[in-house]
Amino acid sequence: MTQAGRAAPQPGGMMVEDLAYRPLRGPVLWLYAALSVAGVVLAVNQVFNFGFFVGFVLLDNRYLYLLGGLFLALVFLAYPWRAAANRPAVDAWDWVMAAVALVLGLVLAWNAERIISEGWEFAPPDWAIWVSAVLWVLIVEATRRTGGLVIAVIVGLFSLYPVFADVMPGPISGLPQSLPDTLAYHILSGESSFGIPMRAFGELVVGFIVFGVALNHTGGGRFFNDLAFALVGGWRGGAAQVGVISSGLQGSISGSVISNVISSGVVTIPAMRRTGFSARYAGGVEAVASTGGVLMPPVMGSTAFVMASFLNVPYIDIALAAAIPAILYYFGLMVQVDAYAVRNGLKGLPRHELPRAGAVLREGWIYILVFVVLVVVMVRDNQEALGPFIATAVLLVLNQLHPRHRLDGRRWVALLAATGRALAELVAVLLGVGLIVGAFAVTGLAGTLVNDLVFLAGGSVAMLLVMGALTSFIFGMGMTVTACYIFLAITLAPALVRAGLDPLAVHLFIMYWGMVSFITPPVALGAFAAASIARTSSFAVGFTAMRLGSVIYFLPFFFVLNPALILKGSPGEIVLVVATAAAGIALIASALQGHLAGVGTMRGLSGGIARVLMAVGGFALALPGGPLTGIGHGTLLLAAAACLVPALVLARLRGVGRAAAP
């Protein structure tokens, strides 16, 4: 999903709409829900091969044109021209654009077979060029409304690159195309707007977005929060640990950092503040935890499914590979929270205020069952596309048997409209990013960039990785996670793979570094959203989030240099690398917060020196040995010991102080 906000639950059960959305009412809401149902039914028919359209073959491009037309129309109905103009009434111009998008999608779908058989992507009839031009304008405008002005400008400029490719400087020059040919290629080929991003959406992503929306509307978010409070709310610093766990669980489903911060933060941030955490620290914990949700299996948002399409591997392979890095990310955050709580004498929430785990599980057993169904269908039956639809059907049936969460007519319409809005938001961004993909494909620029990047790095894998990290971070500031990933998967990933790195590790590396901007100023969208709830300085929360989420800055380098961290290698190698990484991350996290379990709180000059030595030793311990690093495991262990022994001695002799009183 994209960075735009969602309707966020607020205290007292109220719903607050993000200003980017138009609050739909009356017949418009019913129409919106009906079109949403049509899009979902279309996807269900294609995924399950039901054959609803008797005597009419639903070719892949026909299916994608229908999806694109439907959901583009929903974008113009749900998103106003300006965010500040989100009044219920739909403007006449928005009705026109919605109708044109829907009609053009139907026209292209009707001619889908001719588009393929007659090669319209290179020799289209004149009317098809005009259709392509109008649809290009609608796609760019849809990306502006859903993704913001920055991504719309990037999409618009890059999509027109083929027109002036021959006048660009040598490294970024390419084969030129006329404007009509460029626009026709973007819409009529299978390599641009209706290429890999949209195919991944139509084949995999739709079901998981439907599942995530249904889960939230049936009480899944509240269940995750209550379960986290019941399990860890009583720990020292328990309110923050609740934020870590609940945000991780919800973020894995929603795939959106901002909506995760808003929906979880309104509960967890006030709880953290009440138990003694500073406002900036509470906001930082929520921002880091919500950012990690997109990296956490089993769902990981939409980006992982696009990744599966790029790599042509089952989605379950992506989820399994991402599991250990995501766990290490959250492990580092939890160690820091615990160390902060000890250092500042913070306690957990009073037991009488916490729900009982047994009662929570009895109340929310349907959510656990639904996840079991999802995992079984995905893993045992190897049906990633079918799994979320089956799990959603089970969830909705069981939910209607549950008196507390049963949906009435009004809530059904709200669920359907929310589903359509989430799908429309993503379709707009994917169609837009597809234009960039097509521009690189038709000019041959993608291959040229690969060679130039390898040349600039001078054959150094380390330099290429640093260049890749910086590029991912910069593009992550202006794009959504999915858009940033797709762009870099085309331009950067091939160069890293050519340097001898594991393809899956490379794509996860790009995804991780694309997420860094959510907690790193000056952008730090996740941190700024958390700061608005914590009512404190945005930059203070951002810099605190950088410290709490420090694992995200070096962990991608570790698993790309030694894929044992993504479960590729011999069992012995995997166990060794994961164990040393966990120990090293624990030491780094403890050094950052100034407290090591079993040793104590480190204060003063000698404590500061001990913390520096501990951080360096922890980094040496976490750094994986192997051919790409050029350092053996034994050497790294010796280097770690050389730093850690004096650090521990210094801490025990002079640098240890008592924790603050509660």
Q: Tens digit of pLDDT for each residue in 223-274?
A: 888 888 898 888 888 889 988 888 887 777 666 787 778 778 888 899 899 8
pLDDT of residue 54: 61
pLDDT of residue 23: 81
Residue 656, classed as helix, strand or coil, is: strand
Q: How many CB atoms lie within 10 A of CB 55?
A: 5
CA distance 559 to 568: 10
pLDDT of residue 204: 81
pLDDT of residue 655: 47
For residue 133, with 0-12 CB atoms within 10 Å meaning exposed, 13-18 middle and 19 or more buried, which class applies?
Answer: middle
CA distance 121 to 186: 8
**Residue 532 bridge partners (DSSP):** none
Residue 631, classed as helix, strand or coil, is: strand
Residue stretches of the chain with pLDDT short of 50: 1-19, 655, 657-662
Dihedral sign computed on CA atoms, order 315, 319, 325, 329:
positive
**Amino acid occupying residue 188:** L
| 3-state per-residue secondary structure call for 483-533 | HHHHHHHHHCHHHHHHCCCCHHHHHHHHHHHHHHHHCCCCCCHHHHHHHHH
For residue 495, with 0-12 CB atoms within 10 Å meaning exposed, 13-18 middle and 19 or more buried, which class applies?
Answer: buried
Number of residues that this document lists for the chain: 662
Q: What is the pTM of this model?
A: 0.80
Quote the DSSP letter at residue 458.
T
Domain spans in the chain, listed from the N-terminal domain onward: 19-199, 569-657
CA distance 376 to 362: 22
Q: Of 84, 69, 88, 75, whose CA–CA distance to 27 is shortest? A: 88
Find out whether 90 and 61 touch, Cβ atoms under 8 Å.
Answer: no
